[in-house]
Amino acid sequence: MSAFIRIRDAVKTFSTRGRGGALGLDTVLALDGVTLDVERGEVVLIIGPSGSGKSTLLRSVNRLESLDSGEIWIGDDSVTARRADLRRIREDAGMVFQSFNLFAHMTILDNVSLAPRLVRKVPAAQAREAAVAILERVGLLDKLDRYPRQLSGGQQQRAAIARALAMNPKALLFDEPTSALDPEMIKEVLDVMTGLAEDGMTMMVVSHEMGFARAAADRVVFMDRGRIVEQGKPEELFSDPKEERTRDFIRHIL
Amino acid sequence: MKDKRVAAAISGVPWWLVLIVGLGVIALATALADESYRVIFGAVARGFGVTMTVAVVSYAASLVLGLGLGLARSSGFRPLREVSTFYIELVRGLPMLVILYYIAFVGAPALAGILNGLLAPLISAGVFKAFSSRSFDFATRAVLALTLGYGAFIAEIFRAGIESVDRGQVEAAYALGLSHSQTMVRVVLPQAIRNVLPALANEFVAIIKDSALVSVLGVQDITQIGKVYAASTFKFFETYNVVAFFYLCLTISLSMLVRALERRLKRESSQ
Ligand SMILES: Nc1ncnc2c1ncn2[C@@H]1O[C@H](COP(=O)(O)OP(=O)(O)O)[C@@H](O)[C@H]1O
Ligand SMILES: [Mg+2]
C-alpha cells in the first residue's frame, strides 16, 4: 500500500519585488524538488533553518500555496491537479498556525463549529454538540463563550487545534504551533499534540521542540534551502547526523 | 491637592460643547420669545423632512454601492479591480457640486435614453410611457448624484476595512475549507465593518451637510427654503441663524454618538 501523503519533486518559487532582474523581480526558490512520503498515523517532524521552505512545504499540502511543478497526493485525492477539489483537500488535512488565527469576532464555540456548519452542512445543534465535546477534550470546556482575545496564548492554540479537529481531518499540519507562546504555555499545547499522535493522527509538524520530537515523532526531516538534506528516526538524526549541515543545525538548536 | 483636582476637572470639560449648547439654548429661547424667529423656524422646519429624506436615502444607497465597489476594489479578479478603481478615482476627483450638475443635466437625459432603449418593446406596446429627463424629478436626481459620489467615498472606507483584517484570518478560513465568498461574508466583512463603523457613521454626518447642495436644483430642503425666505424678507441674519441651528443640532448630536460608539468599540476590543 502506498503512503497516505505523497509529495513528489515539489518545486515552488516566489517572486518578490526587489532590486534584481529586468522587471525588478527577485525570485526565491522556496522548494527545490522535495519528495516525501508520510504514512497513515505517522508523525513527521520537519526542522531546518528559517527560510528553508518548511512552511511552504506544509502550505502546499493543503494548497494554500500552488506548486510550480511536482505532485502531491493525500490518499486518493490529488492536491496539485489543476482542477483539484480544494474543499475535499482541506477537509482531509487540517492546519494549525503559529499565530493561532482564531476568528477574532467569534466565541471559541463558534470558532470550532463554524466550518462543520458551513462546509460539511452539519445542523447547528449537532455541530455545537460536537464542538463542545472537542473543546472538552482540549480542556477548554469553561471557555466556550469567551472570545479569543480573552484567552491566553496556550488556550488559543488549543482552541485552534480543536477548530481543526472539528472537521474530522485525516491529517493535521502544524506550522510552528508553539513558537508564539510563552515558555510556560508550551507544554499544554504539546500535551494535546502528543495525545493526538498517540490516538493515531497523521501529522506533519514544523517545530524545534526536542521534547515533542522525542515523545511523539516517528521521523525527523531536516530541510535546508528548499531541499530535504537528511531524514531519520529522531534518536538517530539527533545523536548521529550524517550531513555536515544537519550537524551544524542540530548543535544550534540543542 | 484639591486645586489640582479642580483644575483637572475644568480642563476635562469640553468647552467647545458647552459654548455650542449654550448658544443653542439662547437661540431657542430667543426664537420662542421673538415672533419673527418663530415664523422663520416654522418655515425652515418644512424643509427638515426633505433634508432628512435626501440624506437617509442617499446614505443607504451609497452604503450598498460602496460595499459593492469596495469588494470589487479588493477582489482578486483584475478587471473588476480596475473598473472599480477607475470609477472611484474619477468620482473622488470631482467636486460634489459638479457631480450634482452632471447627473441632473447630463445623467438624467442619458438615463431616460437608456431606459427608452432597453424598454422599447414595452413602451411601443403601451405598457410604459416613454421616459424623458422630466420623468426624474430633481430630488431623485439629487439623491442619485449624492449616492454616486458618496458610494465612491464609502467604497474606500470598506476597502480600508477589508485590508485591516489580518491575512491570517483569511488563511485559517481557507484552511478549514471555506469558499472565497463564505470567507468574505462570515470572517472578513464582520471584522472589516466593525473596524470602520465610526468612519461609516461620519459619512452620514457628511452627507447631511452635503445634502444642502441639492438646493442648487431647487429641491425644497432646509437650505433652499431658508434661501428663498431670506431673499423675500431680507431677514438674512435671522434666517441663516435658523438654518445653521437645524444643521448643527443634527451634526453635533450625531458626531457625539459616533464618538460614544468609537469609545465603546475600543473598550470592547480591549477586554
Ligand atoms: N508569500 C511569499 N512571498 C515571497 N516569498 C516568500 C513567500 N513565502 C515564503 N517566501 C520565501 O520562501 C522561502 C521559504 O520560506 P518558508 O517556507 O516560509 O520558510 P520556513 O518556514 O522554513 O522559514 C523564504 O526565502 C521566504 O522568504
Ligand atoms: Mg515558517
Alpha-carbon torsion angle B159, B165, B167, B169, nearest 10: -130
Using the predicted structure, report yes or no on whether residue A106 has a pLDDT greater than 60: yes
Pairwise CB contact (< 8 Å): A62 & B175: yes
- pTM for this entry: 0.88
Query: B23 or A217: whose pLDDT is higher?
Result: A217
ipTM greater than cut 0.90: yes
Shortest-distance ligand to the CA of residue A176 = 2
Query: B94 or B15: whose pLDDT is higher?
Result: B94
Query: B10 or B79: whose pLDDT is higher?
Result: B79
Contacts of A104 in chain B (CB under 8 A): 166, 169, 191
Q: Compute the radius of gyration of chain A from its Cα atoms.
A: 19
Q: Whose CA is nearest to atom 5 of ligand 1?
A: A14
Contacts of A101 in chain B (CB under 8 A): 166, 168-169, 171-172
469567551: which residue's cell?
A: A146
Residues A145-169: what's their mean pLDDT?
97
Ligand 1 atom at minimal distance to the Cα of residue A49 = 22
pLDDT on residue B13: 76
Using the predicted structure, report yes or no on whether residue B205 has a pLDDT greater than 70: yes
How do the domains of chain B map onto residue ranges? 17-31+42-270
pLDDT on residue A21: 54
pLDDT on residue B110: 87
Residues B2-27: what's their mean pLDDT?
79
Domain B17-31+42-270 carries which CATH code? 1.10.3720.10
Using alpha carbons, select from A17, A46, A27, A23 the residue that is nearest to residue A7.
A46
pLDDT on residue A19: 59
Rounded to 5 degrees, φ, ψ at B234 are 65, 15
Residue B209's Cβ-side half-sphere holds a number of Cα atoms within 13 Å equal to 11
A97 and chain B: CB distance < 8 Å anywhere? Answer: yes
pLDDT > 90 fraction of chain A, expressed in percent and rounded: 90
Pairwise CB contact (< 8 Å): B168 & A91: no
* Residue A24 falls in which region: left (phi positive, over 0), alpha (psi -120 to 50) or beta: left
Query: B13 or B121: whose pLDDT is higher?
Result: B121
pLDDT on residue B111: 86
Residues A55-76: what's their mean pLDDT?
96
pLDDT on residue A24: 61
Q: Which three cell numbers stand for residue A38?
A: 508520510
Using the predicted structure, report yes or no on whether residue B140 has a pLDDT greater than 70: yes
Q: At what angle do helices B189-210 and B48-73 cross, to 10 degrees?
A: 140
Contacts of A163 in chain B (CB under 8 A): 172, 176
Contacts of A97 in chain B (CB under 8 A): 168, 171-172, 175
- Give tens-digit pLDDT for A188-211: 999 999 999 999 999 999 999 998
Shortest-distance ligand to the CA of residue A180 = 2
Using the predicted structure, report yes or no on whether residue B9 has a pLDDT greater than 80: no
pLDDT on residue A1: 57
SS3 A171: strand
| Distance in angstroms (rounded) separating the CA atoms of residues B210 and B54 | 10
Ligand 1 atom at minimal distance to the Cα of residue A226 = 14
pLDDT on residue A18: 61
- Give tens-digit pLDDT for A10-30: 999 998 876 555 566 688 999
Using alpha carbons, select from A203, A211, A132 the residue that is nearest to residue A173.
A203
Q: Whose CA is nearest to atom 2 of ligand 1?
A: A14
Using the predicted structure, report yes or no on whether residue A78 has a pLDDT greater than 60: yes
Residues B40-67: what's their mean pLDDT?
95
Residues B4-17: what's their mean pLDDT?
77
Using the predicted structure, report yes or no on whether residue A254 has a pLDDT greater than 90: no
Using the predicted structure, report yes or no on whether residue B121 has a pLDDT greater than 80: yes
pLDDT on residue A218: 97
Pairwise CB contact (< 8 Å): B177 & A90: yes
Sheet containing A69-74, strands listed edge to edge, beginning at the edge strand earlier in sequence:
A25-38, A5-17, A69-74, A77-78
pLDDT on residue B115: 87
Pairwise CB contact (< 8 Å): B176 & A62: no
Pairwise CB contact (< 8 Å): A104 & B169: yes
CA of residue B160 to ligand 2 center, whole Å: 28
pLDDT on residue A12: 97
SS3 B188: helix
Residues A59-66: what's their mean pLDDT?
96
pLDDT band at B1; cut points 50, 70, 90: low
pLDDT on residue A61: 97
442648487: which residue's cell?
A: B216
- Give tens-digit pLDDT for B57-88: 999 999 999 999 999 998 888 999 999 999 99
| Distance in angstroms (rounded) separating the CA atoms of residues B145 and B54 | 11
Find the CB nearest B178 among A99, A101, A118.
A118
Least confident range of A20-29, B102-111, B191-200: A20-29
